[in-house]
Structure 1
Amino acid sequence: MRTLQIQKQENGISQLLKSTLNYDPEIQHQYAIIIPCYNEEKRFAFQEFKTFALEHPEVLLCLVNDGSKDRTLAVLRGIQTESPNNIVVFDMPQNGGKSEAVRQGMLFVHKNYDSKLIGFLDADLATHPEEWLLMAKYKEAHPKFGAIVGSRIQRLGAEINRDDSRSLASTVIKKIIKSILKANFQDTQCGAKIFQRNLIPFLFKTQFKTPWLFDVEIFLRLQEKFGKTTLQKGVLEYPLLQWSEIGDSRLKLKDTIKIPLQLLGLYYHYQVKSKPKGILSNKKSNFSYQLN
């Protein structure tokens, strides 16, 4: 038994050494995807992420362990050895929730890598990394926009599978969000978003005020910095071709009830308490120029 354990340890050390030797710090990562992970030991899409990483060395995958209570960190370390050039693990010792995991991951990548486009994606693969990359390339073809966000619009030719049982609550929440943002967003809550590099420090410097509505806060921060016309002129909505509802990722009823109150709190903080000053009052300022 002891011999077998020693052999396993030696094999593990050998694999780590091999991964280190294969690591090339000169490889440029044009894109970076932050993937928050919490208790993903049994459901983490190991093979899918591994295949994507090996096929797309230009894309950095930053896997954030959000203080998981299971062996998620070991799983993430394991996949890191499979593609060390473009998979990095950021470990948060304590659980901070999705919004904080995304925020910490965005700041970590911005500080340590030179990726021009940085965004995030859900670990459950509701949106696949291949489609995230298509979004990034579409954003590059439209450089005047500072951000691009996935939109789960049901239409011919697209496979968008969403739970209709939440349609009424979603409709109400959607109308409130549109009213607060004063923009014709079709979908603010999709877990696939990408931002120009120089937006990251401002958008993610401080903690978000809500665990589920940080997407809305991101847009409110954009408006706070660049004015109320920002979203129409500077953000692209990208209709996804494929998206699947993951059963255990749904909001609980009590959280759904809290959301309207949290939205009102965000409205007060960003649009009532903090009045636009200076650059915020410059209605004629060109959003694309300020991003460059």
Structure 2
Amino acid sequence: MNTNFDLAIVIPCYNEAERLKINQYKNFIKNHKEVLLCFVNDGSTDHTYKVLKEIKNHNPSQVLLINQTANLGKAETVRTGILKCHQKYHVEKLAYLDADLSTSLEECTSISKEISTTTYCAFGSRIAKLDSTIQRKSYRFLIGRIIATLISRQLNLNVYDTQCGCKVFHSNLVTELFKEKFISRWLFDVELFHRLIVLYGRDQLKHVTKEIPLKSWLDTEDSKVPLSYFFKLWIDLISIGKAYKNSNNLIVIEHETILE
């Protein structure tokens, strides 16, 4: 069994059976032997787990499948996958990516190449440019920009897009960034930036992270974030802001997972 990979990509999955692009995953696995894919089934109620097992059986040595017995939310699902990959494999870079491949596996791999001895975190950004294809529904774009502006002000960082679901980290950061449970099920990206600020300070953080404009991003139907969360989001943001004034407020909660 191969335990050495250049990159591990964690893919959280909740009721994704109809949206998983099986052939794209299989082709990527075939053409990128240096990459480990880690699928984490977040207590799906459809046949997501069955589809994921099909992908794993295609090349078991390159796929880690984790089955959570309850729906714990994207934040905890990503955290579980990142920590399992870090513990089980020798891997230099770890990333997470949305299961619908709004950002492609290939682009995530390309972004991972930005990680170096001086860059410890690289993340995709949905910045529309002449040479890019960024397709977002108008209402999502407008809501997203409002949220992004508030997040940037809370962080006091000039970040355009904290919420893009493609982020890559050097393995040396994993323990400090992911050892503690996140406060919010959906805004954990914001918490990651807060944790990076705690580690490096705002001034130094600018020198060890890179925000990479995506070449392509395709909006998909059936978002897993309920529209009603837009109203709860503000409460989460306030809670996060208060919590990270004192980083000792974080709490570790154990849960049951099945590793295959």
User: Aligned partners of 1:167 and 1:129: how far apart in 2?
Assistant: 23
User: Aligned partners of 2:109 and 2:46: how far apart in 1?
Assistant: 30
More strand by share: 2
User: Which residue of the partner structure matches residue 85 of structure 2?
Assistant: 109
User: Which residue of the partner structure matches residue 216 of structure 1?
Assistant: 190
2:176 corresponds to which letter in structure 1? F
- Provide the aligned length of Structure 1 versus Structure 2: 248
Structure 1 residue 175 displacement after superposition: 1.6
User: Aligned partners of 2:239 and 2:67: how far apart in 1?
Assistant: 31
- More RCO (CA 8 Å, sep 6+): 2
User: Which residue of the partner structure matches residue 118 of structure 2?
Assistant: 144
Instruction: Check if 1:178 corresponds to 2:149.
Output: no
SS of 1:200's equivalent in the other structure is helix
1:37-48 to structure 2, matched below 5 A, reads 37-48=13-24
Structure 1 residue 27 displacement after superposition: 5.9
2:185 corresponds to which letter in structure 1? P
User: Which residue of the partner structure matches residue 169 of structure 2?
Assistant: 195
Structure 1 residue 229 displacement after superposition: 2.3
Structure 1 residue 89 displacement after superposition: 0.6
Contact 1:35–1:63 (Cα < 8 Å) also in 2: yes
2:201 pairs with one of 200, 207, 227: 227
Change beyond 3 A, Cα 1:159–1:168: closer
1:240-259 to structure 2, matched below 5 A, reads 240-249=214-223, 251-259=225-233
Structure 1 residue 172 displacement after superposition: 2.3
Contact 2:122–2:211 (Cα < 8 Å) also in 1: yes
SS of 1:229's equivalent in the other structure is helix
User: Which residue of the partner structure matches residue 10 of structure 1?
Assistant: none
User: Aligned partners of 2:93 and 2:14: how far apart in 1?
Assistant: 24
Instruction: Check if 1:67 corresponds to 2:43.
Output: yes
TM-score by length of 2: 0.91
> What per-residue deviation string (whole Å, max 9, x for no partner) do you get for residues 9-53 of structure 1?
xxxxxxxxxxxxxxxx24631110000111122221111000000
User: Which residue of the partner structure matches residue 98 of structure 1?
Assistant: 74
2:197 corresponds to which letter in structure 1? Q
Structure 2: state its 5+ residue gaps.
Answer: 249-260
1:126 corresponds to which letter in structure 2? S
1:77 pairs with one of 40, 43, 53: 53
Percent of aligned pairs with the same amino acid: 38
